[in-house]
Amino acid sequence: MNSAASPASPATVELSAAPGRSEAAERAAQLFEESFGYEPDGVWSAPGRVNIIGEHVDYQDGFCLPMAISHRCFAAAARTPTDRLRVRSAQDETVLDIDARTLTPEAVTGWPAYVAGVLWALRSRISGASTRGMDIMIDGQVPLGAGLSSSAALECASAEAIEALLTLSTEPLDRVRAAITAETDFAGASTGGLDQSASVLSREGHALFLDCRDFSTRPVPWDLASQGLALLITDTRAEHSHVDGEYTARRADSERAAEALGVPTLRDAEAADPAALQTLLSRIGDEVVRRRAHHVITEIQRVKDFDALLAAGSVREHVAELGALLNASHDSLREDYEVTVPHLDVAVDAARAAGAHGARMTGGGFGGSTIALVEADQAEQVASAISTAFAEQGFEAPVFFLALPSEGAGQDR
């Protein structure tokens, strides 16, 4: 620990709430006009997301509970009487100008692949269109690579714009699928689909209960604002390292566990109580694999418990129990699943000590962000405590966001 940094005066922290949606949409329209020299046909947007609870269970057919955050990606766009797809971003200098009829994954590199990939994924639906040309200007508020899913926000905003410009009559789920296909098959990144579901299907004041077995969803009341509560997001700025290798290893461990228990996935390995769970887990010989299974099985149960509490009353009424579930989720990810890193643990410990109802890492781990359920009027104090703890450790200063459960993708103007 670096004790030279003095915690005597609380660090000043800046809580970045997202700029208002209509102002941001206006700005995107202006950027379009400056860039392409004429007015866009419209502006569409889609939010980033955090997963409230249900981590590392998607590939074992579990449940997740994400919510859309206030930070969105905006796509100002217009149809053109050509077959050129032209894409630009306020956040990245790379531009794309390509024949929209002959898109291939090999032909597009860098960030524009997330946009072009959506058009490519929807290609079978647009065979009848006279021309496919369009200009798209991207302006995103979701921080890139912080684990808040700027990539899904980008794909889903693009999907809304493309759907509207080409009048494709797609359903929201078709756009979720197109966004997933864009990321996995066109951009060549890996995604489980939680991000895109949350970005398209979320409702304001609600979380989204997602069943990863059949991808069915339903909104769950999660109205933080009216209850004087907020979710404090901390982008820990920790460098992601070994993420792909560790992810693959965890997946393999969880598959080994399911095999040892003789179930298709760990979703099917239910135990009535902790004693029954211990008996069940004793059938797994390998100690590490046993701990991995313990995380997945208990995490799936925690999502069910969280959901049941929200069905039984307001967030306020059950805030202590909800917070305890968040804490238990993090502890399980730290001890049983071993996907946390010091930055994540320090942020979570500091948030809890400063009075958060509960705190946990969110996303895949090995870096990224944490969330803390806090009294809205204490958010700054909790952020300040995290900031101080980071300074004491000699970590780079974290970045804070306040998030309220927001509306999924749609048209702005």
Nearer to Mg ion among residue 151 and residue 236 (C-beta): 151
Q: Does 36 bind ligand ADP (CB under 6 A)?
A: no
CA dihedral 226, 228, 231, 234 (to 10 degrees): 140
Nearer to ligand ADP among residue 114 and residue 337 (C-beta): 114
269 Rama sector, left if φ>0, alpha if ψ -120 to 50, beta otherwise: beta
Site for ligand ADP in 147-176 (CB under 6 A): 147-151, 154
3-class SS of residue 20: coil
What length is written for the chain?
Answer: 413
Stretch that binds ligand ADP, among 25-33, 137-145, 211-219, 326-334 (CB under 6 A): 137-145
Nearer to Mg ion among residue 151 and residue 181 (C-beta): 151
Is residue 195 among the annotated active site residues?
Answer: yes
Q: Does 308 bind ligand ADP (CB under 6 A)?
A: no
Q: Does 73 bind ligand ADP (CB under 6 A)?
A: yes
Those residues with Cβ within 8 angstroms of residue 219's Cβ, 6 or more apart along the chain or in another chain: 202, 203, 206, 207, 208, 209
Q: Does 196 bind ligand ADP (CB under 6 A)?
A: no
Query: Rounded to an integer, what distance in angstroms lies between the CA atom of residue 269 and that of residue 364?
Result: 22
Q: Does 51 bind Mg ion (CB under 5 A)?
A: no
Q: Does 332 bind Mg ion (CB under 5 A)?
A: no
Q: Does 387 bind ligand ADP (CB under 6 A)?
A: no
User: Which position among 195, 235, 307, 412 bears the catalytic label?
Assistant: 195
Q: What is the DSSP string of 261-302?
A: HT-SSGGG---SSHHHHHHHHTT---HHHHHHHHHHHHHHHH
Nearer to Mg ion among residue 140 and residue 323 (C-beta): 140
Q: Does 188 bind ligand ADP (CB under 6 A)?
A: no
- List 60, 80, 89, 151, residue binding Mg ion (CB under 5 A): 151
Q: Residue 324 burial by CB count (10 A; 0-12/13-18/19+): exposed, middle or buried?
A: middle
Q: Does 196 bind Mg ion (CB under 5 A)?
A: no
Q: C-beta of 29: minimal distance to ligand ADP in Å?
A: 16
Q: Are 389 and 346 in contact (CB under 8 A)?
A: yes
Residues noted as catalytic: 195
